[in-house]
Amino acid sequence: MLTRLDADTATAVHDLLATAAAHDGADPFSEQFLLTLRAGEERAGVHHVVVPGADRVVAGYAQLDGEYAELAVHPAERRRGVGSALVTALEGLTADPHLWAHGDLDAAKGLAERHGYRRDRVLWQMRRTAGEPLPEVSLPDGVTLRSFVPDRDDDEFLRVNNAAFDWHPEQGGWTGAELAARQAEDWFDADGFLLATAPDGTLLGYHWTKVHPATGDEPAMGEVYVLGVDPAAHGRGLGRVLTLAGLHHLHDRGLDTVLLYVEADNGPAVRVYQRLGFVVHAADVNYAR
C-alpha cells in the first residue's frame, strides 16, 4: 500500500486504465480519482494499491479515498485473483470500503458478490440527442443569468454547491482545492459555467457544463457536469431554467449529444431530465457491505 506513486508507476497505471477502458467500453475510474492520480501528490486519506505484472505492466490497481475506492484489472490478468487481491488489500485499509464499478460490468458484479458486497448506489448516465427543439429559457423575475468569473465567484459557488450537495459523498464538502483542480483542466471553460443570481448578486444556482472532444467511437459531446440550486431558492423552477440554459449553450456550440450523471433514485431530477428528452445510456454501481 502506497500513499504516493512514483512517476514510472503512475505512467504504468495510466496505461492499465487506458487498456481496460478500450477492452470494456467503459472508463474504470471517475474524474476525481483520475485527478488524484494525475496530481502525483500525497493527500490525507488516499492510498494506492498496485499489483505488479510482468514487463513493468501493472496487473491491477486500486485507489482508496476515505472509504470510497475504485479499481481496475488488466484484461490479460483477469481470472487470476488480481481483483480479489485488490479488494482484500482495500479491506485492510478501511473497515467498510465502498467500491465503485463503472459500466455495471458482469465481472465487477461477480467480484463484488464473491466478497459479500451488495449494490448500494446506482448512478445513471443519461443522454439526450438532437430531436425535439428545446423549450426557450424563461427566467423568473429578478433572476439574472451570467457566466462564472474565476476568483470573484469562487466563494459563492462553493457556498451554494456545498449547501445543495450536503448529502452527497463526492460533490459535497468541496474546498477551493477541488474547484482549482478542475479550473486547471484543459476542458474548463468559464463561458459554459452559468450562474443564476439575485438582484443583489447573491448566487441562487448554477449549471456547469463540460465539452468532451470526439474520440474514435464517440462524437464530441456536451455534459451537464454539475447543476446545483441553493436550498433557500427551491420552489422557483431554477433547476429546469438552469438545465435549459446549459443545454442551449451546448447546442449553440454545435453539440448534438449531451450527457449527464444522476442518482437513479433521485426521482424528481430523473423526471425533469426525461421530460427534456434524456434516456438512460449506462450505469455505474457502488457496492457496499
189 with 219, same domain: the answer is: yes
Task: Please state, as a whole number, how many other Cβ atoms lie within 10 Å of the Cβ of residue 123.
Answer: 19
- For residue 123, the surrounding DSSP H or E stretch is strand 118-129
23 with 79, same domain: the answer is: yes
Q: Decide if 186 is inside a domain.
A: yes
Of 59, 88, 116, which residue is a domain's last?
116
74 with 139, same domain: the answer is: no
100 with 149, same domain: the answer is: no
Choice between 55 and 280, residue whose per-residue pLDDT is larger: 280
45 falls in which pLDDT band (50, 70, 90)? Answer: confident
Residues 6+ apart with CB under 8 A from 181: 35, 39
The average pLDDT across 56-70 equals 95
Q: Decide if 190 is inside a domain.
A: yes
Q: Decide if 85 is inside a domain.
A: yes
- Per-residue pLDDT, 221: 97
- Per-residue pLDDT, 192: 98
Q: Decide if 47 is inside a domain.
A: yes
| C-alpha atoms less than 13 angstroms from C-alpha of 64 in its C-beta half-sphere | 23
110 with 200, same domain: the answer is: no
- Tell me, what DSSP letter sits at residue 69? E
| Alpha carbon distance 13, 94 (integer Å) | 22
71 with 198, same domain: the answer is: no
Of 88, 116, 144, which residue is a domain's last?
116
The average pLDDT across 45-52 equals 94
Distances (CA, A) of 123 to 1, 76, 79, 164: 28, 28, 27, 18
- Per-residue pLDDT, 1: 63
Choice between 132 and 114, residue whose per-residue pLDDT is larger: 114
| Alpha carbon distance 57, 261 (integer Å) | 32
- Tell me, what DSSP letter sits at residue 2? B
The per-residue pLDDT of the chain, averaged, comes to 94
Range of the domain at 98: 7-116
**What 3-state class would DSSP assign to 140?**
coil
217 falls in which pLDDT band (50, 70, 90)? Answer: confident
The average pLDDT across 116-143 equals 94
- Per-residue pLDDT, 130: 80
Q: Decide if 122 is inside a domain.
A: no
143 with 25, same domain: the answer is: no
15 falls in which pLDDT band (50, 70, 90)? Answer: very high
The average pLDDT across 3-31 equals 93
Q: What is the pLDDT of residues 78-88, one digit of tens each?
A: 999 999 999 99
The average pLDDT across 149-166 equals 97
Q: Decide if 1 is inside a domain.
A: no
Of 60, 94, 116, which residue is a domain's last?
116
134 with 267, same domain: the answer is: yes
Q: Decide if 149 is inside a domain.
A: yes
46 with 177, same domain: the answer is: no
Question: What's the total number of domains in the chain?
Answer: 2
Look at residue 170 and tell me whether its pLDDT is greater than 90: no
Q: What is the pLDDT of residues 93-127, one digit of tens each?
A: 999 999 999 999 999 999 999 999 999 999 999 99
- Per-residue pLDDT, 131: 74
Distances (CA, A) of 263 to 30, 186, 223, 268, 283: 15, 27, 16, 10, 10
213: domain CATH number?
A: 3.40.630.30
68 with 134, same domain: the answer is: no
Length of the chain measured in residues: 289
Look at residue 209 and tell me whether its pLDDT is greater than 90: yes
Q: Decide if 91 is inside a domain.
A: yes
206 with 264, same domain: the answer is: yes
Lowest-confidence pick of 159-163, 183-187, 214-218, 274-278: 214-218
259 with 151, same domain: the answer is: yes
Task: Please state, as a whole number, how many other Cβ atoms lie within 10 Å of the Cβ of residue 243.
Answer: 22
Percent of the chain residues past pLDDT 90, beyond the cut: 87
Look at residue 39 and tell me whether its pLDDT is greater than 80: no
